Structure 1
């Protein structure tokens, strides 16, 4: 008899018993484990945001609602920070259990997700500056070709586009009202809870007209999580029937007559509005427009960087000592700060600075101007170092030979030194140009809708992440590959043995 047979049988039986025990324990844990709720706290008032008095704690009416659901369900709910743009994709991947962040009930979302019964009835509200007298309605503003801001992929955006506006789109609630205050926008249209929190207390802003355009907020689940969704539906019904939901909304100043429909709600007819037909003929023109913005932004920003970079390099090489120190300080400063921070400061910080110091000049740049200025200042620092190293690589004897021919230093630089330096400068400069081409994707922070931002908007609204993502990637390749080919051709023509 094999002496190892009995110990192996015992180990096998023990493994089976342990597996069954772990499975049972895992099932029990699955029923009691904390539910992961995803929402974006960045500028998320009054939904969810960090308490100004206690920055380590989040508050908001959805935080209060999550705590009430936790008591009704008898299960802990843990909030996880998640970018609003990625909530639907993250939920479908299983990164969390449900999303609750002012998600509007739409046919596209109802088709892809399991939406709960509504927990809030929202309306839209137009906000203007307090001294605005040029128009009294959105129709009058449209006749004036006015500028309107709103959140991307919301009912407000769809409403404005149907009216014929091309609204400026933002990623959070605070920035549209800031732009409205300083005159970059003529009006802002967003959900009433946002307007109540941000616009109503601001003496520089006022509501224009009455709220309009009723819709619903719902909690989003995966289709396969029907059991959990049904439990949340019952909990929401209990909260509405007991009056606890009303007490939460009254605490935040959000209760109105529209919320009474929540108590007798039966079903939201999301099929009344047809889901959008996201065919290539619908989204390709928008992607092409975004690609055009990307190309224009790249070309103008690189031109600004070149025009700034070369003088800075020359000052560092040949300028008087104070100017050389200033050029070095410029390079170190702009290489040392993130371009995202620079864009945010130029777009939002400079207007506030001009107002506080009562400067006689306007520092209110348009989104595109702010993007060009930010990239130009940032990339000029890198270009200056490339030009400096290229010029310094030319042998000193070239200066001496030019002087022996009677050339001035300026003529020698223009005809002898710089043409030779171009051979060294060209490869890293073209690499920077291609890098800038891709870096333009961050300018959505200042409300520029370029190709990547257009992809995010379209993919989030259609849920066609793969199809629209593939089309976006093709457009980037169509634009960037010729740049690489052109760079190699120039290197072969002007380079040393390339």
Structure 2
């Protein structure tokens, strides 16, 4: 009931966004009219798929970036990547946030139930990686039973491990985290696709890749259900790219050409001949992390532009959400304290319902659930609305505490002076209640700054998502973590100082009150 009330309030406050042209008309026609192929991917995953260039974080690189550009050129448009969490990419596709998903989407029956898949564009073996010199390390699938093995969720590798009875450890972060846990002894092995193994497992001196293949996986482009014309156009483009040798040139550049892919695209020569320049550049950039002071001087300045964009998105979402929270929270508090039962009980139900359910669940309901009711919100609107209404419940309780903290004698004095109820609230009660409520309000805003990271689920790239993308691309979680922590601190300190200044001015007439 409380969640229903929450959704009712959201639908009442938000106007439905006009339906996406991708959903209303033929997808291919919409792409040509727009002049852009919007493709969804998660750059947090890292190399070699799509990631921020470690030497120039303002640019996205990866073999799927090159492939997206090549496919878009065949369609006569340009490609633009839209960031989204890997585990919700197909949901975002169905919602209409982009035209296709191009991010190592495996050809599997469960995928075909929720999207269309093009012809495969890449094939790879599953590789097993273990610690070098570990005498107990597993070297066969039959040796994985009951042992902790790392992989990515919703992949063929995970299904293989489950079938073999392994203790499967899945990671929602970047691929680097999986191999880091293996090096630290938190898992006994890692089973993942060959491109990931080559870029993260094979380059580590303390790890070794077990010879042989432990399965084979094919990648395809995911297209929205019913968009047959776009899938046909992409199939034709992939066939033409394979026939022209462009696919081979892309894969050789990234050091990914293999016998499985040669067979897939009908190339009789499985031996790579081109120079893997992109792979070598990546190895030179991240093969050995430079000393901290060197990173501070040379690498971190290059990330400041990317961090600035993420910080601006965080600040925008937080300020808009807090403004909504303050306004709605004040209405709820007044309704709960002074309103008649017909207003008091719905206000209490809203406050308790919102406070009693996770913010992530609320955001999922608003962004993915409301379209089923015909209400489709833009990502920024959905994020601000959900955060604002969530924190409105907390603000309402802050204001209620502030109103309760005003002595009853103040009401009596106002009545003696002949003030109306509204005048009493405006000139006597609210100024005193504000001073009481200001410290918890400041705490809530600082918390909101951090909770705003959840909007990355709805394709917005804010500060935390920027950090995760960069950390996995540059393989530097510690140093970049200190940078992003400092940025969050700098964002929050001015508001804390402002709140203390306002609180002090409101209490100037009080003697002996700590400032």
Max radius of gyration: which structure? Answer: 1
TM-score for the superposition, normalised by structure 1: 0.47
TM-score for the superposition, normalised by structure 2: 0.45
Q: Which has the higher contact order (CA 8 A, sep 6+)?
A: 2
